[in-house]
């Protein structure tokens, strides 16, 4: 009995150490999950430079960028981003206080990458997190000018696509503004857009010139989200119904 009593503290200490290690493992798993979700946010087929990828990664909550390898997502193996994340865990039975860890992981950003790819554990590089200059502000889309200059065609008249194109050319738009014009069913649709970041709502302006009506509008935010098709020429010719 006495031997059992003497062994009890040692057994408790051993179990306690195991729990502490388990808590650290749970905290590491949480940090890894933050890195994995960052990889999901960075995933995409659009070509991006290392600067763009690094800037996007540094803007994700809980992520610090400590290293970048590669020049473009579409060159070679793409971009390798080393990120540092934080995880925590607490066992209210044996942990004296919450276990908090900071871990580094490698995230590959390339069109060849797999969706939800598991980040690779790496040693944290020395030095502070990388800093990135703010991206240039996109040009403002000329709603008022476009509305004022587009032709008004009377009911029963014919819309001239060439005239619409000449109107856009005369606006002398910023080169960063993409324009698209398409005629269909006696009406002409117009799209003005700027490149988005692949995550947030894209800036775009739609117009449609029809006999008896010239309309200019900005699609709803949900329609301008990636994959929703709101910033497409088809939405100018045949507008999507409003979201429910």
- Weakest mean pLDDT among 21-30, 70-79, 128-137, 184-193: 21-30
SS3 of the chain: helix, strand, coil, percent, to 5: 30, 25, 45
8 A C-beta contact, residue 229 and residue 71: no
What pLDDT sits at residue 19?
43
Q: Could you tell me which of 146, 154, 211 has the C-alpha nearest to residue 181? A: 146
The structure tokens listed for 230 are 């709101």
What pLDDT sits at residue 243?
65
8 A C-beta contact, residue 108 and residue 78: yes
For residue 5, pLDDT beyond 70:
no
The structure tokens listed for 28 are 């590491």
What pLDDT sits at residue 145?
96
Q: What is the residue-averaged pLDDT of the chain?
A: 88
Q: DSSP secondary-structure letter at 223?
A: G
**Residue with structure tokens 């690094």?**
54
Adjacent-strand bridge partners of 89? 99
CA 52 to the chain's CA centroid? 11
Residue 30 has phi, psi (to 5 degrees) of: -65, -40
Distance between CA 73 and CA 79 in Å, rounded?
5
What pLDDT sits at residue 244?
44
pLDDT digits (tens, 9 = 90+) for 143-156: 999 999 999 999 99
Where are the chain's structural domains? 17-122, 143-237
The structure tokens listed for 84 are 């540092």
**Which has more pLDDT, 19 or 80?**
80
CA 178 to the chain's CA centroid? 20
pLDDT digits (tens, 9 = 90+) for 28-81: 999 999 999 999 999 988 888 999 999 999 999 999 999 999 999 999 999 999
Using 50, 70 and 90 to split pLDDT, how confident is the model at 189? very high
Using 50, 70 and 90 to split pLDDT, how confident is the model at 92? low
């Amino acid at each position: 009995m006495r031997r059992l009593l003497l062994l009890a503290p040692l057994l408790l200490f051993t179990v306690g150490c195991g729990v502490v290690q388990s808590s650290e493992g749970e905290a590491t798993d949480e940090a890894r999950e933050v890195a994995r979700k960052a990889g999901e946010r960075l995933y995409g087929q659009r070509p991006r430079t290392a600067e763009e990828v690094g800037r996007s990664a540094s803007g994700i909550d809980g992520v610090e960028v400590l290293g970048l390898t590669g020049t473009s997502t579409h060159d070679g193996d793409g971009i390798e981003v080393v990120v540092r994340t934080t995880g925590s865990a607490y066992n209210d039975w044996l942990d004296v206080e919450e276990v908090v860890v900071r871990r580094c992981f490698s995230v590959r950003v390339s069109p060849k990458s797999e969706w939800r790819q598991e980040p690779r554990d790496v040693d944290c590089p020395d030095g502070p997190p990388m800093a990135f200059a703010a991206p240039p502000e996109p040009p403002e889309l000329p709603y008022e000018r476009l509305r004022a200059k587009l032709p008004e065609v009377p009911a029963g008249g014919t819309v001239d696509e060439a005239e619409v194109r000449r109107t856009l050319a005369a606006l002398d738009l910023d080169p960063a503004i993409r324009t698209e014009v398409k005629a269909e069913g006696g009406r002409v649709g117009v799209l003005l857009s700027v490149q988005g970041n692949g995550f947030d709502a894209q800036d775009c302006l739609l117009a449609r010139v029809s006999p008896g009506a010239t309309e200019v509008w900005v699609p709803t935010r949900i329609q301008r989200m990636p994959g929703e098709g709101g910033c497409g020429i088809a939405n100018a010719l045949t507008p999507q119904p409003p979201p429910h």
